[in-house]
Amino acid sequence: MSDDDRYRLLLESITDYAIYMLDPGGHVSSWNPGAQRFKGYDAAEILGEHFSRFYTQDDKDSGLPERALRTADAEGRFENEGWRVRKDGSHFWAHVVIDPIRSPSGDLLGFAKITRDLTERRATEEALRKSQEQFRLLVQGVTDYAIYMLDPTGHVASWNAGARRIKGYAPAEIIGQHFSRFYTEEDRHDGLPSRALATAEREGRFEHEGWRVRRDGTRFWASVVVDPIRDDDGHLIGFAKVTRDITEKREAQRALEETQEELLQARKMEALGQLAGGIAHDFNNLLMAISSSLELLQNRLPDESRVTRLLENAVQGVHRGATLTSRLLAFSRRQPLEPQAVDLPALIRGAGDLLRLSLGSDISVETQAPLSVPQAMVDPTQLELALLNVAANARDAMPQGGTLTITLSSEEVSDGQVTGLKGGAYVRLSVSDTGEGMDEETLGRAADPFFTTKGPGKGTGLGLSLVHGLLEDSGGRLVLSSRKGEGTTAELWLPAAQSQRLSKAGPAAGAESETGDGKTVTVLAVDDDALILMNTALMLEDLGYCVIEASGGAEALKVLEKQHVDLLITDQNMPRMVGTELVKAARQIRPDLPVILATGYADLDEASELRLPKLDKPFGFNELRSVVRDTLGQ
């Protein structure tokens, strides 16, 4: 077999390439099976035809076929990629090489043309290009995350829109800069940036939360993930870094935790208040039994000086116990505000024992007051509790001891002179300490509910907020002033009393114990405590009334169904049927029945709705007489 035969067999066996010859004018002079497969022409159909028929009309109009032959002839080679046309009119993407064929003397004999169909490869490359472009657009379009690349040494290599929004740098400002500039000075000093890259390279991932720094110097709380990027051979070529600004999320989580802590403190205070209220109620009942017994003894025993003094001492002890229960009820918020004209110097003197016990021996108390201070309109028990709260804060601010100064002054205020106060006459009660003082931030939040600078278990953060609430409800104002290291002054502004409240009248010469027709008034007394019921009945009998006793609501209703009663006096806190429930049931039987509610505390809304006069426990002979007479209109 000759060499020519071998070359012919070789060309005819190639099907992945179209290999054919052109004469010097560009006409096809040979055609292999690969050419037939790519372009769809049989050899008989295409031999002698000009090769320009394989080009698109645009390429023919631009003269590309002729330019390809001229280039091959002049430069010894022409190479190109572009669209070509098959026999059926469909297009394919071709890679074309044209080489000139010359005789030994250098004369041009024609051209060798090799064409390869790259349509599938081009489609793959185009799909890859589109995918990469879509990914680039995706990354660039993300604004909630900073997504960017670092080179192996930590310098920024790419920058998306989210990175610009979160960190504040334009791409031109940051690309090529080291990523450590996003870290705080403390983290850079600690080596966190280099440790992050080393961890990501070693373990395949680095994840962290912490403060980061924006271009303007402000900080934000960031969630950061760093992943290594490796080539096909596993060599490190950089890092992918994703950062998210979660400052708002962190603040929301902190707010939730603070709210939960406040709720826990509120529940503790509620439980403590319920306990205090329960103790006060039971103690009131004991005091009621003791005080009424003492008054009955005073009315029955002969006027002997030694016995009288003993009884008076016992009565004074009962009054002090009543003051204690009043404070407990004020603390538990089961006692409504009862503003009245209060002599503040007398109140401060009366609270002296409690202040000394609260402050301890290391703190001295000084009082400064002019000879004439007008009375203030406020609930005295609540004000006493407020004073104790302010004093307790002062004590905690003076751990090494110091001086607490209480100053009273009369002030005339015009509108707007003191924030939150209307123009008028006020009494200012100032409490100053020589303690540590507060900075501006702490001072601004000092009266916020649950805010405290004390350690766990050492404060609820409710003291000053309760003081603030009392003064607001009383028409006054709490004004705090302080400087770090210079102590604190709490000013309790209270409206001055316009008129003095008259003291209660003493017992009259005789009791109005008869109705208009001369019949004796019948009183139904109801209480579940046998001692209180007995003494209440005895006091009513001493006043000249006819008394029927009942130990509970059900028993009282049976009496009302069978007997005529002119007045019902009932305790509020009784088992199975409380006082207000008894009143509603009794008025189903007697709609016009006068009722007195005797209690240490009550649901005032319901009592007000029922229009019930209230007799505060522990009550004495004079209080009982006055309320009964007022209720019966005597």
> Residue 510: phi, psi to the nearest 5?
-145, 155
Q: Residue 493 in contact with residue 476, Cβ under 8 Å?
A: yes
- Tell me what pLDDT residue 141 has: 57
Regarding beta strands 206-213 and 145-150, do their DSSP bridges make them parallel or antiparallel, or are they unpaired? unpaired
Q: Residue 519 in contact with residue 564, Cβ under 8 Å?
A: no
- Tell me what pLDDT residue 606 has: 61
- Tell me what pLDDT residue 502 has: 34
Kindly state the percentage of the chain with pLDDT values over 90: 29
- Tell me what pLDDT residue 458 has: 43
Picking from 120, 70, 68, the residue whose alpha carbon sits closest to that of residue 96 is 68
Written as six digits, the tokens of 321 are: 């116990």
Positions of the chain with pLDDT under 50: 334, 449-451, 455-462, 500-511, 602-603
Q: Residue 379 in contact with residue 474, Cβ under 8 Å?
A: yes
Q: What strands, in cross-sheet order, belong to the sheet with 219-230? A: 145-150, 236-245, 219-230, 206-213
Inter-axis angle of helices 621-632 and 530-542, to 10 degrees?
70
How long a stretch of residues is the chain?
634
Spatial separation of the C-alpha atoms in residues 558 and 562, rounded to whole Å: 7
Spatial separation of the C-alpha atoms in residues 370 and 373, rounded to whole Å: 6
The label of the residue with tokens 């080489």 reads 99
- Tell me what pLDDT residue 232 has: 84
- Tell me what pLDDT residue 318 has: 67
Q: Residue 175 in contact with residue 156, Cβ under 8 Å?
A: yes
Neighbours of 404 (CB within 10 A): 21
> Residue 191: phi, psi to the nearest 5?
80, 20
CA 364 to chain CA centroid, nearest Å: 40
